[in-house]
């Protein structure tokens, strides 16, 4: 093994990262710093402290990063209306660059020369963690145990744990979900087990954050979302921080059966995989943001955004948040949001998000006096359209004469 | 006026185009040929014959174009997953190039030197009709009465009709919808009246093709859609023509409250307008096609399609179906569909379209042996990921050393 | 005519705009304010003052805008490596938004309600002037005499001038170039006469800014260009303002036969036109800027710029400098230039611009220790490439198994 | 080592691939099939036969692939006007997919289960060879000796050769160029040695295919190039095959000092590298093809091509010729070339390629009657431009009222 002296481990306190912690200490014979973040996954992070301490860790970081996550990662991404492959709202992807950033900050604070994570060698997360780490600390050493060790089955992991005296909560293991899951403020994801056959419909008890549309209330819920520069700043008139916006919309959305998705996606490492996602807040935010833009954003600015979006989403999916090209796109996107101010009214009903109204006192570009079917009192001269069409058609006519 | 000798009019048989017919005869002193098409708008077209005859028209064309519309226009467009501005499924836009094509064919058959239509000078349809016409017959003369005459209100139109002995069905007029509507196999649209304030939610009795999600059945409906080269060829195992596919999905989708949309969109002529749309079949087709592609389409082919899509949709929205650039994009898109074969299972429930499964016997690119969370028996070497990440990170690391 | 009270005219002092000045006074019966700008066209602007005064103009603006033109328009555009249709360096296009901006500033200062210009109804310049004016003062009235009057030939113009006592410099008229020309710091253009047949090679005495390559010196000229954030700030170590940079490179470039181009281009109004251009400084700047970027710009930032460039160039060509979408692209481009610092050495020889060296003390991304063909002492692990290729190939292999 | 049975080696007959041949026989203990291709590199390929035979090779393939290379790879690429990073004409990149294709064909013919090549682990060529191979034979085993062995210096290679009795032509080695070179019909490239400092100007005796502009003739050379569907089919009226076109233009271009380039480029594997290239025919072909398109290609088709080009060039540079996305783009590009027919007249003079004329009897879209500065007899109504501008400005005006 290499001469790593100190490694910062992204540590959940669960069995897998506890095994990694031990493995790092033994195999690399190095000091381990643990970092546990609350990014809204819905589990207590404080218990990780005692476990790390018990494992001999001296430097233990436990951070509540929910506001930073929502404000600096999720919200900027939603300004872009980002969707990967027409379906995926990037719930896992957008959390990784935040973790990388904090891992590297801690490495610099503690003088560590390496970071480590529990992502496997088949997935996207290893790429996202490591591209972020390298971009922020180019000389960092990255240890990805899943790519190095030979503990390739649950049995071998359990055996390793027992052999090395790592406490196993057998009760928890036995009632463990058969799915591989990941959660944060933006979503919870499910992979594996019966989902590995894309013809299988997920069983209803898999879903954790939302009721099924069938079980959702028979009455719709209406909400008013207030926007400033493309971000939601209030719900039903009540000002809220970004993380609170998301928690609120997750709750209300989940109660109305909003945000379930079931997709086959293309991983950056080259394979297709099947995943199910619950993204209640994100599903609402995407729809409502588009509605706010539809009223306040210039046509060509919107179309430029639409053409750039797939590339932006792909960058985030592939792990390039911390890259010059993502920052360039973000600069363009953020500039476009200057006037995306106003209110969107939405109706939530059994899995559906409907736009029930949009308005903007100062920033609407909808000009009823021009668009009206009634007499517009000269606001628009219909004869202008003749010249507009004639010149737009000119190249087509010349081409047709040639015989296109 | 110019020296037009014979004009082919896109004629519905309704009051507006009846007035145009008379106006053309009087103002242009020219022979009028009428053309009435069934493109699935849900109204009888045959009655137009007697009306045209009564108005002295000698050459009357009434065509059932539903299959051609579905097969040669709607289906190719759905191969592209086309959506305009993130919401609009282009229901009106895609019908116009078909009408233009037939108007020009008839002009050539009848020796006409002009075409005419009933679209106003504020909308997109005039552009779509006329760009198509010019592209197919560069010397054609286009008469757009709404841009020429001074009949700018319903009152002046009625007065003109009475003055010139054009029959007005007062019963029909009085119970007329307050909305400006357009319908074909793909959608029905609503504009005007209370919709002119984008803060107003549409009233439920406006919608004609779908029940509200609240009134939809409490039991979900499952369907299996079979794809060949990106097109649906069978529903629940029963082979169907393109138009029948659409009629079937419109019926089932509408019954389940599928396909209502309410948007503010950017017209090509420069203004924002507000429209409501019901697109049951289209909403299902878009979702299901993406699911079919997710299993069978190469990642980079999909991403290329996703990046080209907004431009493709914009071309169709703006009226450039009959253009070299649309044909170039179509060639790329069609090539990508060679392997988009298989079956998608969908669940329809109160406004929602869920993907409940996708499979493809010969064309699936989902390789469970690689993607599995279980032991993959060497199908994928996780160590490869280390090199993959290292080289993808190299430029970022060099940049970070420089101080990006 | 409309009720225009005061109009600001883009006035050169030449015959055409003198006729327009008179025509505006007579036809619109309004007060005319003249605006004459020095943007490096190489003609004195001060004589316009006496002519305007003689024509009764009370408010006369004569501005030296060379530095603003170079700094705020030309330099930002070159950061994008903008070329229209693979050839045209946008010499005329980029000057128009500056003129529009100043016309509108003057309109606001003088309380004018209209602007006017001497561009014809066939060209791009009318579009550029007017889109800029409308974007900056949405209620402005634009008067484009060439689209309104019936003075469609040189004879009718001369007759109008004589009839209205406008002084004609017959000597100047008779020795007038047969070409329609336009000049500013960035280029001089030629259109018309024998160029109207694209098979004709231009005669050598047409060109005004450069010697022919045949007549250029037999010895090459070397220059060192210093860059800061993508802009040239010094030549051969001598700090210079943007306009001085351009004047210097025009002189040296022209002396070496640099910058002649002869193209058929597509106008925004729908026709193809043929133009010849001399752009000595611009030709050097484009080449050298790319060389500076090749050393200092991240790969993906460069590729993103390359993909956005044609759209950016088209926006400028079509007159959309003052648009939200151009500003979005500019924000992305400008951000990318932070590290484009260093020196490029060029060799000019008989029409050629060769890159003879590039260096950047602090911002080079070229890492000889990695790129070397010699032993790299472990800076790069060649084995990483195996995994990189394997994972990039994975989707292709899965596709091949299916039979792509 | 793995259990490879038979491997097809891309074999030049030179020292490096002779060492690889021996190394494969020894290390893999497998049978080696050699493949040597003439792709216009300007060296005899037949001598490779005796060397292979002497090394015990039983199956020896020596193919003249010049016509296939020019017709099926170079010409289609030039239809796209492909340039990588604004400068590089992809001379090496475009040859690799052809070699991969033939290697795999031979593997299938001879029952080999592996291929091998002499590209290093730092460059792009390994990627191009291997992506192609995997795309065409997904189960193939690839052996890249430079990534496996420890022969990392010239000395260790020579020692290996001596030790294993591989004949070394010491005369050839001693007069060997200090540069790493690669040549084919499209170009010859130089890397390494003093070029590793990008501030160094290459010495004039490095260049092999062209005279320096200083030494080129004092008289220009004019050529007429005839195009059919975007490809050159005749020079000065004489019909020629694709390879002959390239050989002819290389000769004439090189004689006139055409096609030298000196760039820093971004490799797919993550580093910047410096290379010098001579591409006489390619430099002429790019310029002339654009000129032919300028006359015959629709504006928007051209702009679409221009926007897609950087991506197309990047695909080829990165080794994705054999990919669905390259084929999609090619389908769009090829469709656009239907009318790119006619003649371009070029002037070559001391390093410059000037367009001296372009014409197309049947396919020109240049309409002198519309573009003329003289009276156009009504072919174009200038008043149409007013409406065209008004509607294009509408969104900008509404935005300006809001205060964009």
Considering only residues 15 to 54 of chain A, which have any Cβ-Cβ distance to chain B shorter than 8 Å? none
Q: Which two tokens stand for residue A59?
A: 């430097």
Chains that touch D (3 or more CB pairs under 8 A): A, B, C
Set D16, D63, D255, D262: catalytic member: D16
Confidence of residue B375 (pLDDT cuts 50, 70, 90): low
Residue from the list B311, B332, B395 with its beta carbon closest to the beta carbon of D270? B395
Structure tokens at A349: 């009903």
Q: Residue C131: which of D351, D383, D396 has the nearest Cβ? A: D396
Closest residue in D to A392 (Cα) is: D388
Sequence-ordered alpha helix ranges (H) in A213-355: 242-255, 280-296, 299-318, 324-336
Q: Is A334 a catalytic residue?
A: no
DSSP H helices in C118-176 = 125-136, 145-148, 154-163, 170-174
Exposed, middle or buried: residue B334 (CB in 10 Å: 0-12, 13-18, 19+)?
Answer: middle
Q: Which of D271, D308, D390 to mutate to test the interface with A (most CBs of A within 10 A)?
A: D390
> Smallest Cα–Cα separation from D75: which of D233, D260, D251?
D233
Cβ contacts (< 8 Å) between D404 and chain A: which residues?
298, 339
Relative orientation angle of helices A15-23 and A154-163, to the nearest 10 degrees? 60
Tell me the torsion sign for CA atoms C146, C152, C155, C156: negative
Give which of B149, B341, B347 is closest to B232, Cα–Cα.
B341
What residue in D sits closest to C178 (Cα-Cα)? D373
All residue ranges of chain A with pLDDT < 50 are none
Name the B residues in 323-362 with CB < 8 Å from any C CB.
339, 362
C6-67+88-176 with C183-297+339-359: one CATH topology?
no
Please give the helix or strand (H or E) that residue C231 lies within, else none: strand C231-235
**E-only strand ranges, D39-89:** 60-64
Residues 69 through 88 of chain D touching chain C, CB cutoff 8 Å: 81, 85-87
CB contact under 8 A, C400 and D135: yes
- ipTM > 0.90, yes or no: yes
Structure tokens at B106: 């008839």
CA distances in angstroms from C302 to A312, C77, C299, C360, D265, listed in the order given: 15, 15, 5, 17, 11
In b/e form, how buried is each residue of D308-345, taking b as 16+ CB within 10 angstroms? Answer: bbbbbbbbbbbbbbbbbbbbbbbbbbbbbbbbbbbbbb
pLDDT per residue as tens, chain C (404 positions): 568 999 999 999 999 999 999 999 999 999 999 999 999 999 999 999 999 999 999 999 999 999 999 999 999 999 999 999 999 999 999 999 999 999 999 999 999 999 999 999 999 999 999 999 999 999 999 999 999 998 878 888 999 999 998 988 877 777 778 999 999 999 999 999 999 999 999 999 999 999 999 999 999 999 999 999 999 999 999 999 999 999 999 999 999 999 999 999 999 999 999 999 999 999 999 999 999 999 999 999 999 999 999 999 999 999 999 999 999 999 999 999 999 999 999 999 999 999 999 999 999 999 888 877 666 767 789 999 999 999 999 999 999 998 87
- Three-class DSSP labels, chain B: CCCCCEEEEECCCCHHHHHHHHHHHHHHCCEEEEEEEECCCCCCCCHHHHHHHHCCCCCEEEEECHHHHHHHHHHHHHHCCCCECCCECCCCHHHHHHHHHHHHHHHHHHCCCEEECCCCCCCCHHHHHHHHHHHHCCCCEEECHHHHCCCCCHHHHHHHHHHCCCCCCHHHHHCCCCCEEEECCCCEEEECHHHHCCCCCCCHHHCCCCCCHHHCCCCCEEEEEEEECCEEEEECCEECCHHHHHHHHHHHHHHCCCCEEEEEEECCCCCEEEEEEECHHHHHHHHHHHHHHHHHCCHHHHHHHHHHHHHHHHHHHHCCCCCHHHHHHHHHHHHHCCCCCEEEEEEEECCEEEEEEEECCCCCCCCHHHHCCCCCCCCCCCCHHHHHHHHHHHHHHHHHHHCC
Local confidence pLDDT in tens for the 404 residues of chain D: 568 999 999 999 999 999 999 999 999 999 999 999 999 999 999 999 999 999 999 999 999 999 999 999 999 999 999 999 999 999 999 999 999 999 999 999 999 999 999 999 999 999 999 999 999 999 999 999 999 998 878 888 999 999 998 988 877 777 778 999 999 999 999 999 999 999 999 999 999 999 999 999 999 999 999 999 999 999 999 999 999 999 999 999 999 999 999 999 999 999 999 999 999 999 999 999 999 999 999 999 999 999 999 999 999 999 999 999 999 999 999 999 999 999 999 999 999 999 999 999 999 999 878 877 666 767 789 999 999 999 999 999 999 998 87
Q: Would you state the pLDDT for residue D121?
A: 94
- Given a contact as 3+ CB pairs under 8 Å, which chains touch C? A, B, D
pLDDT tens column, B337-354: 999 999 999 999 999 999
For residue A375, the model assigns a pLDDT of 67
Q: What is the pTM of this model?
A: 0.97
- Give D305's contacts in chain B (Cβ within 8 Å): 328
The 10s digit of each residue's pLDDT in C26-68 is 999 999 999 999 999 999 999 999 999 999 999 999 999 999 9
Q: What is the pLDDT of residues B124-156, one digit of tens each?
A: 999 999 999 999 999 999 999 999 998 878 888
Q: In this structure, what DSSP letter does residue C84 have?
A: B
Closest Cα in chain A, distance from residue C69 (Å):
24
CB of B393 within 8 Å of a chain C CB? The answer is: no
Q: Does B394 touch chain D (CB under 8 A)?
A: yes
pLDDT tens for D288-342 read 999 999 999 999 999 999 999 999 999 999 999 999 999 999 999 999 999 999 9
Sheet with C221-228: strands ordered across: C238-239, C231-235, C221-228, C342-349, C352-359
Distance of residue B35 Cα from the nearest chain A Cα, in angstroms:
23
pLDDT tens digit sequence for D90-112: 999 999 999 999 999 999 999 99
Q: Decide the pairing of beta strands C31-38 and C60-64.
A: parallel
- CATH code for residues A6-67+88-176: 3.40.50.620
Nearest to A366 among B146, B264, B269 (CB): B264
Under the banding of pLDDT at 50, 70 and 90, the label for residue B189 is very high
Mean pLDDT value across residues B175-189 = 92
CB A282 within 8 Å of CB A78: yes
Tokens at C339, concatenated: 């590290």
Interface of C with B in 137-156 (CB under 8 A): none
- Which residues on neighbouring strands pair with residue B114, listed in sequence order? B7, B141
Q: What is the DSSP string of A234-261?
A: EETTEE--HHHHHHHHHHHHHHTT--EE
Neighbours of chain A (3+ CB pairs under 8 A): B, C, D
Give exposure, B51-66, as e/b (b: 16+ Cβ within 10 Å).
bbeebebebbbbeebb
* Residues of chain D contacting C303 with CB distance shorter than 8 Å: 85, 266, 310, 314
Chains B, D: CB pairs < 8 Å: 79
Chains in contact with B, where contact requires at least 3 CB pairs less than 8 Å apart: A, C, D
Q: How far apart are CA C143 and CA C140, in angstroms?
A: 10
> What percent of chain A shows pLDDT beyond 70?
98
| Mean pLDDT across B211-240 | 98
| Annotated binding residues of C for L-aspartate | 120, 124-125
* Cβ B345 vs Cβ B329: under 8 Å: no
> Among residues D71, D180, D294, D363, which one is catalytic?
D180
Instruction: From D277, D336, D321, D362, select the one nearest D131 (Cα to Cα).
Output: D321
Question: d(Cα A239, Cα A224) in Å, to the nearest integer?
Answer: 12
Predicted pLDDT at C374? 66
pLDDT at position C212 is 97
**Pairing relationship of beta strands B114-116 and D260-266 according to DSSP bridges:** unpaired
* pLDDT of res. B177: 84
- Tell me whether residue D16 is one of the annotated catalytic residues: yes
Beta-carbon separation of D396 and C134 below 8 A: yes
Instruction: Give the whole-angstrom CA distance, residue A27 versus residue A24.
Output: 5
How many angstroms from the chain centroid is the CA of residue A345?
24
Q: Where are the domains of chain C?
A: 6-67+88-176, 183-297+339-359, 368-401
Q: Please list every residue in chain B whose beta carbon sits closer than 8 Å to the beta carbon of residue A399.
A: 135, 324
- Strands of A238-239's sheet, edge to edge? A238-239, A231-235, A221-228, A342-349, A352-359
- Grouping H, G, I as helix, E, B as strand and the rest as coil, residue C58 is coil
User: Three-class SS of residue A226?
Assistant: strand
C-alpha to C-alpha distance for B287 and B227, rounded to whole angstroms:
13
- Give catalytic status of residue A156 as yes or no: no
DSSP state of C215: G
- Say if residues A122 and A101 touch (Cβ distance below 8 Å): no
Closest CA to A148 of A177, A169, A126, A163: A126
Cite the active site residues of C: 16, 96, 125, 180
Closest C-alpha to B8, from B129, B94, B174, B148: B129
The hierarchical CATH code for the domain C183-297+339-359 is 3.90.1260.10
In this complex, do D152 and C375 lie within 8 Å of one another by their Cβ atoms?
yes
Q: How many CB pairs under 8 A join A and B?
A: 286
- Identify all chain C residues contacting B342, using CB atoms and an 8 Å cutoff: none
In this complex, which of B201, B271, B355 lies closest to A356 when CB atoms are compared? Answer: B201
Note whether A384 contacts D404, CB cutoff 8 Å.
no
pLDDT level of residue B404 (50, 70, 90 thresholds): confident
Is A125 an active-site residue? Answer: yes
User: Could you give the angle at which helices B154-163 and B15-23 cross, rounded to 10 degrees?
Assistant: 60
Contact B310 A314 (CB under 8 A): no
Neighbours of A352 (CB within 10 A): 23
In a 10 Å sphere around its CB, with 0-12 CB exposed, 13-18 middle and 19+ buried, how is residue C315 labelled? buried
User: What is residue A2's predicted lDDT score, i.e. its pLDDT?
Assistant: 65
Please indicate whether, in this complex, the C-beta atoms of A198 and B138 are within 8 angstroms of each other: no
Q: For residue D286, report the phi and psi dihedrals to the nearest 5 degrees.
A: -60, -50
Element (DSSP H or E) covering residue D239: strand D238-239
User: Could you tell me if A255 and A217 are in contact, meaning their C-beta atoms sit under 8 angstroms apart?
Assistant: yes
């Amino acid at each position: 093994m290499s001469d790593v002296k100190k490694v910062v481990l992204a540590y959940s306190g669960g069995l897998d990262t506890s095994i990694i912690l031990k493995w790092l200490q033994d195999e690399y014979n190095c000091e381990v710093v643990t970092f546990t973040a609350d990014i809204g996954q819905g589990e207590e992070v404080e218990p990780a402290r005692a476990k790390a301490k018990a494992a001999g860790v001296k430097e233990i970081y436990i951070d509540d990063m929910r506001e930073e996550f929502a404000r600096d990662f999720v919200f900027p991404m939603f300004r872009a209306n980002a969707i990967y492959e027409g379906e995926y709202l990037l719930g896992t992807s957008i959390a990784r660059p935040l973790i990388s950033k904090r891992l590297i900050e801690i490495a610099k604070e503690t003088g560590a020369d390496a970071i480590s994570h529990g992502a496997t060698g088949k997935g996207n997360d290893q790429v996202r963690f490591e591209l972020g780490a390298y971009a922020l600390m180019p000389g960092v050493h990255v240890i990805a145990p899943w790519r190095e060790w030979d503990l390739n089955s649950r049995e071998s992991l359990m055996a390793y744990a027992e052999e090395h005296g790592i406490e196993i909560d057998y009760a928890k293991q036995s009632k463990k979900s058969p799915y591989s899951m990941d959660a944060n403020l933006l979503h919870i994801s499910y992979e594996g087990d019966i989902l590995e056959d894309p013809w299988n419909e997920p069983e209803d008890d898999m879903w954790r954050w939302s009721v099924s549309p069938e079980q959702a209330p028979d009455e719709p819920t209406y909400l008013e979302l207030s926007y400033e520069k493309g971000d939601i700043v209030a719900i039903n008139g009540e000002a809220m921080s970004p993380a609170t916006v998301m928690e609120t919309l997750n709750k209300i959305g989940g109660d109305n059966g909003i945000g379930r998705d079931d997709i086959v996606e293309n991983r950056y490492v080259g394979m297709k995989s099947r995943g199910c996602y619950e993204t209640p807040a994100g599903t609402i935010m995407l729809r409502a943001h588009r509605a706010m833009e539809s009223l306040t954003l210039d046509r060509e600015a919107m179309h430029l955004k639409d053409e750039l979006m797939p590339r932006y989403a792909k960058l985030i999916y592939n792990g390039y948040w911390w890259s010059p090209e993502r920052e360039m796109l973000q600069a363009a996107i953020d500039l476009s949001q200057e006037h995306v101010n106003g209110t969107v009214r939405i109706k939530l009903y059994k899995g559906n998000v409907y736009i029930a109204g949009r308005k903007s006192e100062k920033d609407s570009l909808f000009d009823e006096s021009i668009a009206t079917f009634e007499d517009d009192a000269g606001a628009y001269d219909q004869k202008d359209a003749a010249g507009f069409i004639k010149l737009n058609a000119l190249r087509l006519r010349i081409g047709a004469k040639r015989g296109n």
